């Protein structure tokens, strides 16, 4: 446990709370938090998690832009949308194959710990982050699974504050899904 881990954790909580409320300022909080986590995960040999957080840095910038200007009309804020069941099943299948491939490489050619599990959470988190940046409702379901698996990894690596953070993330992902779903259903009812 370190001061940097505590700062990253607090900023990560701020990020998720702001994201639940669809507040644009979630992205700067995410940027700083992930910068810290990129370094921390590299230091404890969670190489895929470190790479994932480097990706999050880029997505924080993209998410800011997408939420602010990604609507159908020029310079309109993005609205919550859904992929639907069939598209999500296809996505899960493809991401699972990619995860297994990365897991094999990490297990056989690097010193990475938890190679397959770390690859799974990383690959799915990459796509879930894209979904969040596009305000796709189901991103929260992906995050619930990713967060639960991540809790185990972080406890095993002695990153206890980060494990607590992911417990909080899991609860907030449930809350966010409910809130975004209500907004999505309300919009669908209004449109119909």
- Alpha carbon distances (Å) from 185 to 81, 82, 137, 180: 10, 10, 11, 9
pLDDT at 88 over 70: yes
Read off the pLDDT of each residue in 18-33 and give the average, rounded to a whole number: 92
Whether the full predicted model's pTM is greater than 0.75, yes or no, is yes
Angle at 26 between CA 87 and CA 95, to 5 degrees: 25
pLDDT at 192 over 80: no
Residues 164, 90: contact at Cβ < 8 Å?
A: no
Question: Tokens standing for 76?
Answer: 């309109």
pLDDT at 72 over 80: no
Read off the pLDDT of each residue in 121-137 and give the average, rounded to a whole number: 93
Read off the pLDDT of each residue in 120-133 and give the average, rounded to a whole number: 93
pLDDT at site 44: 84
Assign 69 a pLDDT band (cuts: 50, 70, 90): confident
Helix axes 115-133, 85-109, angle to 10 degrees: 140
Instruction: Give the phi and the psi of residue 172 in degrees, each rounded to 5.
Output: -70, -30
Q: In this prediction, what percent of the chain has a pLDDT beyond 90?
A: 62
Domain chopping of the chain, boundaries? 3-191
Helix axes 139-156, 115-133, angle to 10 degrees: 150
Residues 151, 123: contact at Cβ < 8 Å?
A: no
pLDDT at 62 over 60: yes
pLDDT at site 76: 66
Question: In terms of Cα–Cα distance, which of 174, 146, 163 is closest to 12?
Answer: 163
* Tens digits of residue pLDDT in 150-177: 999 989 988 888 899 899 999 999 999 9
State the Cα–Cα distance between residues 68 and 86, nearest whole angstrom. Answer: 29
Assign 184 a pLDDT band (cuts: 50, 70, 90): very high
């Amino acid at each position: 446990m370190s001061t940097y881990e505590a700062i990253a954790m607090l900023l990560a909580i701020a990020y998720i709370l702001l994201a639940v409320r669809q507040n644009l300022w979630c992205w700067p909080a995410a940027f700083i938090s992930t910068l810290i986590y990129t370094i921390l995960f590299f230091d404890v040999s969670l190489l895929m998690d470190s790479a994932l957080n480097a990706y999050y840095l880029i997505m924080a910038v993209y998410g800011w832009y997408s939420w602010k200007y990604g609507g159908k009309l020029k310079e309109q804020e993005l609205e919550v949308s859904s992929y639907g069941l069939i598209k999500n099943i296809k996505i899960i299948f493809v991401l699972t194959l990619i995860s297994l491939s990365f897991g094999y490489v990490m297990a056989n050619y690097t010193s990475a710990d938890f190679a397959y599990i770390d690859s799974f959470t990383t690959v799915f988190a990459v796509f879930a982050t894209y979904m969040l940046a596009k305000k796709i409702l189901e991103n929260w379901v992906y995050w619930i699974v990713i967060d639960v698996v991540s809790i185990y990894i972080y406890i095993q690596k002695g990153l206890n504050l980060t494990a607590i953070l992911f417990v909080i993330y899991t609860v907030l992902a449930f809350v966010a899904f409910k809130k975004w779903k209500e907004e999505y259903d309300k919009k669908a009812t209004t449109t119909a």
